[in-house]
Chain A
Amino acid sequence: MTSKVLSIARDFSAFPAGRKREDGPFTGEKFREEVLVPILDQGGHITLDIDGVEGLPSSFLEEIFGGLVRAGFSLEQLRAAIDFKATEPDLVMYPDIAWRFASEAESLH
């Protein structure tokens, strides 16, 4: 199983924003489809390092994690495949929020 550490700020953008591709250059849909789905499809594991971003708008985060559940990945599968690294005090709440979005999406799915 491949394991990868990905810094959102360094490898994607320090200013992620928006849901759909039409909303901007660094959106949740783009991150989900181009970064996460290929790894998850191969059964790999990824650690998302969120330190360094200026913020993760909830619409961006919901599009990633709610979107993964809506695309057919289960919450259990996501929890096994994705870890977070967040040490900056104003970013440490984002992993919980991400799992909250995935959980809410699963309860609606």
Chain B
Amino acid sequence: MKTIIGFFVTPALVSLAISLWANAVLEARRARRDHITKLFEGARDDVRRGVEAGVECFSTKPADRTHLQEARVLSADREIRAAVSLLLGRVRSPGCDEATHKAREAFQSLVVELTGGNFQARRGVISREHITRLVHAGANMRTALARLRDAELKDGFDQDPILSWMVGKYEWAQKNWPFRSVP
């Protein structure tokens, strides 16, 4: 029986199987990383577009605003709410608690400013203070999303047993490499 198994399961075949498995595992992790990055970058783009639309709208006197300007802000508001709530609901890694909390605060401030002030009003004046608050709320949101993405990727990396094992082996090899140059 051993001979028969040994005949079919050659070292080359074992090596091939391990190689295919390792490749599949690493590919799945790379796909996850790319997917997370794409989601966060998409949300950050939505925020940038929203702030631009908001600044354009709030820089126009309420009486002179067009439906197009208001519609752009509403559309951006909707897209930002959908994208950010998806991300905030998705990130559950314990290492991301602080980053998630800050992103929630920034999100709330952005929602308040984007459609706040004299939005959809027919009377009123241009408020430079409101425009400034909106710009800062957008910048804070983009920063918070970038930090949350980094925290999520780092946490996913730290909790990954295979990657942790590989990093451990790499560090061990660095320490014990026999041919390293002596300073």
Contact = CB atoms under 8 A, between A and B. Distances in A.
Interface residues of B, number: 24
A5 interface: no
B89 interface: yes
Contact of B81 (A20, A23, A55, A96): A55
Contacts of A92: 85
A46 interface: no
Contacts of A58: 111-117, 119
A107 B11 CA distance: 76
Given A89-B85, A92-B85, A59 B116 contact: yes
Interface of B is mostly: helix
Contacts of B2: none
Interface of B: 74, 77-78, 81-82, 85-86, 89, 104, 107-108, 111-123
B120 A22 contact: no
B120 A18 contact: yes
Given A20-B122, A57-B115, A97-B112, 10 more contacts: A18-B120, A22-B122, A23-B122, A55-B77, A57-B116, A57-B120, A58-B112, A59-B116, A89-B86, A100-B112
B120 A23 contact: yes
B69 to A, nearest CB: 14
A28 to B, nearest CB: 10
Nearest to A16: B120
Interface of A: 17-20, 22-24, 54-55, 57-60, 62, 89-93, 96-97, 100
A59 B123 CA distance: 13
A92 B85 CA distance: 9
A18 B86 CA distance: 27
Q: Which 7 residue pairs across A and B have the least CB separation, nearest first?
A: A58-B116, A57-B115, A90-B81, A18-B120, A89-B85, A59-B119, A90-B85
Contacts of A62: 116
Contact of A55 (B115, B116, B117, B123): B115
